[in-house]
Structure 1
Amino acid sequence: MARLRSVGVGDVSKRILLGRKLRSSQLGETLLPKRIALPVFASDALSSVAYAPDEIFIMLAVAGATAYAWSWKIGLAVALVMLTVVTSYRQTVHAYPSGGGDYEVATVNLGRTAGITVASALLVDYVLTVAVSISSASQYAAGAVPALVGHEAVAACAAVVVLTALNLRGVRESGTFFAVPTYLFMVSILGMCAYGLVQLLSGDLPEAESAGLQIQPQEGWDGPLTQVALFFLLARAFSSGCAALTGVEAISNGVPAFRRPKSRNAATTLLLLGMIAISMMMSVIVLANQMHIRYVDPHELERLKTAAGAALPAGYEQNPVISQIASGVFDHFPPGFYFVVTVTGVILVLAANTAFNGFPVLGSILAQDGLAPRSLGSRGDRLAYSNGIVFLAAMSMLLIWIFDAETTKLIQLYIVGVFVSFNLSQLGMIKHWTRHLKSERDPATRRRMMRSRAINTFGLGMTAIVLVIVLLTKFLAGAWITILAMIFFFLIMQGIARHYDRVELELAADEQDKVMPTRVHAIVLASKLHKPTLRALAFAKATRPNALEAIYVSTDDAATTRLLEEWDERRIDVPLKVLHSPYREVTRPIVQYAQEIRKANPRGVVAVYIPEYVVGRWWEQLLHNQTALRLKGRLLFAPGVMVISVPYQLRSSRIALEREEAAEGRVHAGDLRRGRVTDRSRDDL
């Protein structure tokens, strides 16, 4: 095998973090089977079991513990909405399997404006998914590790960085990593609830640690509730509980990541997600009620009183609902309690992975449609949409830092965006089926389409009611921030679309583009008479311009004199023009001279040849080519002026090239087994 040289530190670090590069032809190897797709795309919706019941109890606690009697009914209402949304999205993944999800449905059926609205809502929701999940996990971690108290935002940002690195390795690899914890979470919650329900049926279910406490209602809610007040209370609790629906839409955006048959596998995963999430949420709510849990807003712990009505001791720590259930159910089996709490904290971190899989795919589709920067549509070394992953990480960390990783504040911003996309998606699907029914004549197919349209119509009604309730109950609590963010993304995407449209029109070829310039005036920049300058002169001569001259900017009389003398001694057959610069500027005199030549011959072209050093180390770039970079930046804005870089490779550049070629040709562990080593390479071994 050919002799190998040392590989750059940056290349080694990148390979360690991200793994080996994958060819485009290996894209099929990264597709997910259902057993991996379920934890990848469902971890967000499943993890909501860790905080959605908490939010329901917090909202009902406003009126005191007696309002908890409504918790299971609110849970059923949330479950009904989730089942409806899951059923509706099963229609979507069959009709639109390309991965556009709600955005594609709205764009195709309702127009571009509706599509941009859905896209802006989903972008905000994905960012909030990461921020809420990671912030909630950091709160769990701070409760277990006292050293993290007060540093939750730092811990949350560190977790986002780790998730980003894992996702940059590719969907398949990150999915395999996340599968085990997600399945452990399912087993722990369902196992805990099953054991608790068995205890309930046998009459052995213990009470929760907070069962003996009283909840003091908030001011204004301490008397008998009117029908209006009761409705508003239940509406607030219902809207908070609907946080359990976030993440359901991610599967419709991630259909391309499934193995074939993509649509059927995605629909099956959706059904599994809905049934598991509903079972877990309802079991938690039922057990919390039967164990008489008392749970209030963490910022209002003073409302919790002892059975005698006295204040709780200072430093009282209120554990989350799942933690209290696990503590009671496994009161004689501590390992069970620690297992449930640990995997719950882990799943809250991994829940953000749903957004890390959905956001980049959506970003790539928006980039293809000219609504987002084209860079979001580029796949990285591991065939993941790396730029979208990094952008999502940056936005979520900014949000975590601004809100100091406080879940209670962030949760108020949640679910507005996702229900906006739900509504427009359902409306788009209704129009989709209506349009196809006009041309379909097969009775069986028409019945199936009518059934699908009825499902989407019912889904639209349910999600519209939820959206109205969410806006009414959460607008002043922080939902207005989400709406402003959606408007911001909407305007940004429209601005990007207008820019790309203008550029496309401006770049459209016409007959004038065939007109040849009447004259080419070439100028070669000379700072010294050395090899780079001579190479630039030779290259300029080879292009046979109408006029050719070298330009030197004089800032020192002695240096100018030496250059002129050397020019004459070497008998260079290209005239050297000296531009005097009394203020020691180099860039401005050259730009002005090129513009004057252009003005003298408007139909001609000025070709500026700039010798540049090619170096192999990053720090060498800081020592060379700075004047050339500034000059190119100025000349690019001059009409009729062409800038040509003439590279001269220094020794360090050749070493870097050889090092890169050696790294590309290196035989990696497992290559022989996979058949990636040629016969020649095998002989060299």
Structure 2
Amino acid sequence: MGLAFTLVSVGDVSKRILLGRKLRSSQLGETLLPKRIALPVFASDALSSVAYAPDEIFIMLSIAGASAYAFSWKIGIAVALVMTAVVASYRQTVHAYPSGGGDYEVATKNLGVNAGVTVGSALLVDYVLTVAVSISSGSQYAASALPFLSGHEATFGAIMVLVLMAMNLRGIRESGTFFAVPTYLFMVAILGMCGYGLLRLLNGSLPDVESADLRLDAAPGFEGPLTTFALLFLLARAFSSGCAALTGVEAISNGVPAFRKPKSKNAATTLFLLGLIAITMMMSVIVLAKQMGLKYVDPLELDRLTNADGSPLPAGYDQHTVIAQIARGVFDNFTPGFYLVVTVTGIILVLAANTAFNGFPVLGSILAEDGYAPRSLGSRGDRLAYSNGIVFLAVMAIALILAFDAETTRLIQLYIVGVFVSFNLSQLGMIRHWTRHLKTTTDPADRRRMVRSRLINAVGLSFTGVVLVIVLITKFTHGAWITILAMIIFYIIMKGIHSHYDRVALELAADEQDKVMPTRVHAIVLTSKLHKPTLRALAFAKATRPNVLEAVYVDIDAAATNRLLDEWDERRLDVPLKVLHSPYREVVRPIVEYAMEIRRANPRGVVAVYIPEYVVGRWWEQLLHNQTALRLKGRLLFAPGVMVISVPYQLRSSQIARERELRGDERVKAGDLRRGRVMRSSSSKGQIQR
């Protein structure tokens, strides 16, 4: 029986290459974000919605034909009003709750635990959908630009999620710096395109988009004049789809701890900038699309688009996105401008998922701290990021992308339900927060501020409440029920986790019986052969002074057993050797059964099992040693009254790992001198000392 164990982290070198060197806990302040980096980190999701929210508005309105596009700018204004109310409401939230709990903390403290768990489940689902929708939309853009990706969008999307996961595992500061450039390029490109387009509109030189000459037929059943109810329902569907522009706004309230001080003020400023930029971009795109004669339908219903003479479009007609059509028209005399807009839009759709990669891990850590999620989600990794939460989000998003084949049109129907559930409960919680504080506040200035804040949250609640009702009515049968079901499942799981932790805490609570000493300790030392690891384990077991000490050997080969017995007698060891016969050549089962037999004979005593283990230094050496020790531990851990003690024996190769670790710790790294972790030697020129 070879008992071996390896004290080597397989893949440690590759991990350092991918993630970078470890950061001390004291370096957490170095990972905090200034506003110029926080804006692209937390706002990329909401800003990127400009790339698909207008598309969804025009798709919904196209059901009634091109004449319904007259309502596009009105729907855009309605969405902008809701976004204004939501941004103003969340500015109150980040000041009142700067700890980063966001909607979850607000709902829990003001509406109760069940409301908080509901918000937590809604946000978890929304973050997963944010990644899935953004990456899927970006994959569609990539497939349009690179024909060889056509048909492989889901695979490409999964790869992009893995890339984002790796970037975020390196730490929020590094990922934020990496994503800042394309996000700012996207802002400049879209605002520049819209500004130039509106300028051309004013001087009368704005051209039409490529689809302006096409004829748009109404969907079956909508050919004639619409009744008032049908028109209102159509506008409600378009409005609910356009509200996808609001997703991502809540991420800032969940990520306040990642801001530099003053955290609340910087977060509120970032929220204001986010709202201003997003509304400007969205309204500009909608106005330009309408003025340039856009015709846009669901990609699955391209047969509703025909040439002006009624003839069908050529086979394989590629309907370009709204922004792509506007950019081609606005920059008809400047091709690089068109390519810049399309390229950065595709990039930002992929990087928009980074908002969720920053919000989800923070929320997961808070839920873990409160006992509603596995404790592992609250652990920071080598780079001070919540690594387990990042990996979990990536796995869930990849599963969703593959399940829906990266089709944005199908995924968008699942979107925004969860986020508006959290919006509503958060605003209701903030109203109760201000009401409670008004009862105890006497200062007139503070009371005026609280009344104003409560009014803002009340307006936000009324707006988001109406949107939630509209979304549920118009999207329920189109996929929103899946989101609701997922929220219910997460809710049940979270409550189950909390109940489990409560039961375990109650079970582990110390009482007077825990002071009772065992009446007897029966120690057994597992023996595979008579060598140094066995002798060391015997010596250690003797030092613990058990009531009974014996060595145990499993007989699976008669010749080997006889040799061991002869060696045992020759060395005159004062520890008896017990041989367990195993006719079926099993090693683990006889030892477990023997330990349990001893335990049954003396229920108030304990059985101490000493296992000699090898410690090796090279990863491939682990493959050359039997893993019986690990399997045996796994079985004995479930045996009541049985203690398992590992007695390591370091082989020479283990020194290699030790020296490598020491070299890694002592090596001077880039930036150590600047940060004061090393100092220059005064006695030797150019020498660095710790």
Do these two structures clear the TM 0.5 threshold for a shared fold by scoring above it?
yes
Contact 1:526 1:533 in 2 (8 A): yes
**Aligned AA for 2:23?**
L
TM-score w.r.t. the length of structure 1 is 0.97
Q: CA deviation at 1:218?
A: 1.0
Contact 1:613 1:625 in 2 (8 A): no
Counterpart position of 2:377: 376
Once the two structures are superposed, what CA deviation does each residue of 1:361-389 show, in whole Å capped at 9, x if it has no partner?
Answer: 00111111111111111111111111111
Quick one: distance in 2 between partners of 1:684 and 1:338? 50
Counterpart position of 1:249: 250
Alignment of 1:280 onto 2:290: no
Q: CA deviation at 1:620?
A: 2.2
Q: CA deviation at 1:621?
A: 2.1
1:558-573 alignment to 2 at 5 Å? 558-573=559-574
Contact 2:526 2:610 in 1 (8 A): yes
Q: CA deviation at 1:515?
A: 0.7
Quick one: distance in 2 between partners of 1:624 and 1:497? 41
Once the two structures are superposed, what CA deviation does each residue of 1:513-571 show, in whole Å capped at 9, x if it has no partner?
Answer: 11111111101111111111111100000000011011111112111111111100001
Q: CA deviation at 1:457?
A: 1.1
Quick one: distance in 2 between partners of 1:628 and 1:19? 34
Counterpart position of 1:349: 350
Q: CA deviation at 1:235?
A: 0.6
Contact 2:607 2:642 in 1 (8 A): yes
Q: CA deviation at 1:167?
A: 0.9
Quick one: distance in 2 between partners of 1:304 and 1:232? 23
Once the two structures are superposed, what CA deviation does each residue of 1:219-278 show, in whole Å capped at 9, x if it has no partner?
Answer: 111111001100110010000000000000000000000000000000010011001100
Q: CA deviation at 1:102?
A: 0.4
Q: CA deviation at 1:9?
A: 8.7
Could you tell me which runs of 5 or more consecutive residues in structure 1 were left unpaired when the two chains were aligned. Answer: 1-6
Counterpart position of 1:234: 235
Counterpart position of 1:389: 390
Counterpart position of 1:657: 658
Where 1:548 maps in the other structure, the secondary structure is strand
Where 1:524 maps in the other structure, the secondary structure is strand
Give the direction of change, closer, same or farther, for the CA distance of 1:534–1:140 in structure 2 (3 Å limit). same
Alignment of 1:430 onto 2:406: no
**Aligned AA for 2:665?**
E
Counterpart position of 1:412: 413
Contact 1:615 1:652 in 2 (8 A): yes
- Identity, in percent, stands at 80
Counterpart position of 2:605: 604
Quick one: distance in 1 between partners of 2:175 and 2:561? 62
Quick one: distance in 2 between partners of 1:635 and 1:397? 38
Q: CA deviation at 1:463?
A: 0.6
Where 1:614 maps in the other structure, the secondary structure is strand
Contact 1:82 1:274 in 2 (8 A): yes
Quick one: distance in 1 between partners of 2:675 and 2:14? 24
Counterpart position of 1:30: 31
Where 1:379 maps in the other structure, the secondary structure is coil
Q: CA deviation at 1:81?
A: 0.4
**Aligned AA for 2:491?**
F
Contact 2:10 2:619 in 1 (8 A): no
Quick one: distance in 1 between partners of 2:249 and 2:676? 40
Where 2:11 maps in the other structure, the secondary structure is helix
Quick one: distance in 2 between partners of 1:563 and 1:322? 81
Counterpart position of 1:223: 224
Contact 1:521 1:548 in 2 (8 A): yes
Counterpart position of 1:366: 367
Quick one: distance in 1 between partners of 2:104 and 2:90? 13
Where 1:439 maps in the other structure, the secondary structure is coil
Quick one: distance in 2 between partners of 1:619 and 1:679? 40
1:5-20 alignment to 2 at 5 Å? 10-20=11-21
Quick one: distance in 2 between partners of 1:683 and 1:187? 48
Quick one: distance in 2 between partners of 1:221 and 1:111? 46
**Aligned AA for 1:107?**
T
Give 4+ residue runs of structure 1 displaced > 4 Å after superposition.
Answer: 678-682
Quick one: distance in 2 between partners of 1:60 and 1:684? 69
Quick one: distance in 2 between partners of 1:158 and 1:440? 54
Counterpart position of 1:299: 300
Q: CA deviation at 1:675?
A: 3.1
Q: CA deviation at 1:13?
A: 2.3
Quick one: distance in 2 between partners of 1:82 and 1:521? 70
Contact 2:679 2:688 in 1 (8 A): no
Quick one: distance in 2 between partners of 1:671 and 1:262? 28
Quick one: distance in 2 between partners of 1:616 and 1:500? 38
Q: CA deviation at 1:601?
A: 1.1
Q: CA deviation at 1:494?
A: 1.0
Q: CA deviation at 1:500?
A: 0.8
Quick one: distance in 1 between partners of 2:385 and 2:391? 11
Counterpart position of 1:593: 594
Where 2:611 maps in the other structure, the secondary structure is strand
1:521-670 alignment to 2 at 5 Å? 521-670=522-671
Quick one: distance in 1 between partners of 2:585 and 2:77? 78
Where 2:485 maps in the other structure, the secondary structure is helix
Give the direction of change, closer, same or farther, for the CA distance of 1:28–1:197 in structure 2 (3 Å limit). same
Q: CA deviation at 1:159?
A: 1.0
Quick one: distance in 1 between partners of 2:670 and 2:234? 62
Q: CA deviation at 1:160?
A: 1.0
Quick one: distance in 2 between partners of 1:558 and 1:289? 91
Alignment of 1:132 onto 2:110: no
Where 1:611 maps in the other structure, the secondary structure is strand
Q: CA deviation at 1:11?
A: 3.5
Once the two structures are superposed, what CA deviation does each residue of 1:415-465 show, in whole Å capped at 9, x if it has no partner?
Answer: 000001001101111111111111111111111111111111111111111
Counterpart position of 1:195: 196
Q: CA deviation at 1:684?
A: 6.5
Q: CA deviation at 1:476?
A: 0.9
Contact 1:612 1:625 in 2 (8 A): no
Give the direction of change, closer, same or farther, for the CA distance of 1:423–1:540 in structure 2 (3 Å limit). same
Where 1:551 maps in the other structure, the secondary structure is strand
Contact 1:613 1:648 in 2 (8 A): yes
Judge which range, 260-269 or 164-173, deviates more. Answer: 164-173
Once the two structures are superposed, what CA deviation does each residue of 1:152-174 show, in whole Å capped at 9, x if it has no partner?
Answer: 11111111111111111111111
Q: CA deviation at 1:14?
A: 2.1
Judge which range, 421-430 or 667-676, deviates more. Answer: 667-676
Give the direction of change, closer, same or farther, for the CA distance of 1:313–1:358 in structure 2 (3 Å limit). same
Q: CA deviation at 1:678?
A: 4.2
RMSD: 1.4
Quick one: distance in 2 between partners of 1:452 and 1:566? 85
Where 1:518 maps in the other structure, the secondary structure is coil
Quick one: distance in 2 between partners of 1:474 and 1:595? 60
Contact 2:421 2:468 in 1 (8 A): yes
Q: CA deviation at 1:679?
A: 5.0
Contact 1:255 1:266 in 2 (8 A): yes
Where 2:439 maps in the other structure, the secondary structure is helix
**Aligned AA for 2:120?**
A
Q: CA deviation at 1:356?
A: 0.6
Quick one: distance in 1 between partners of 2:433 and 2:308? 58
Where 2:518 maps in the other structure, the secondary structure is coil
Q: CA deviation at 1:668?
A: 2.1
Where 1:451 maps in the other structure, the secondary structure is helix
Where 1:98 maps in the other structure, the secondary structure is coil
Alignment of 1:165 onto 2:196: no
Q: CA deviation at 1:581?
A: 1.2
Q: CA deviation at 1:347?
A: 0.7
**Aligned AA for 2:194?**
C
Q: What number of residue pairs does the alignment pair up? A: 679
Quick one: distance in 2 between partners of 1:268 and 1:414? 27
1:487-506 alignment to 2 at 5 Å? 487-506=488-507
Q: CA deviation at 1:625?
A: 4.6
Quick one: distance in 2 between partners of 1:144 and 1:542? 73
Quick one: distance in 1 between partners of 2:635 and 2:316? 64
Q: CA deviation at 1:401?
A: 0.7
Q: CA deviation at 1:669?
A: 3.1
Counterpart position of 2:150: 149
Counterpart position of 2:312: 311
Contact 1:412 1:474 in 2 (8 A): yes
Counterpart position of 2:102: 101
Quick one: distance in 2 between partners of 1:403 and 1:9? 35
Could you tell me which runs of 5 or more consecutive residues in structure 2 were left unpaired when the two chains were aligned. Answer: 1-7
Counterpart position of 2:511: 510
Quick one: distance in 2 between partners of 1:188 and 1:663? 45
Once the two structures are superposed, what CA deviation does each residue of 1:613-647 show, in whole Å capped at 9, x if it has no partner?
Answer: 11222332233251111111111111111011111
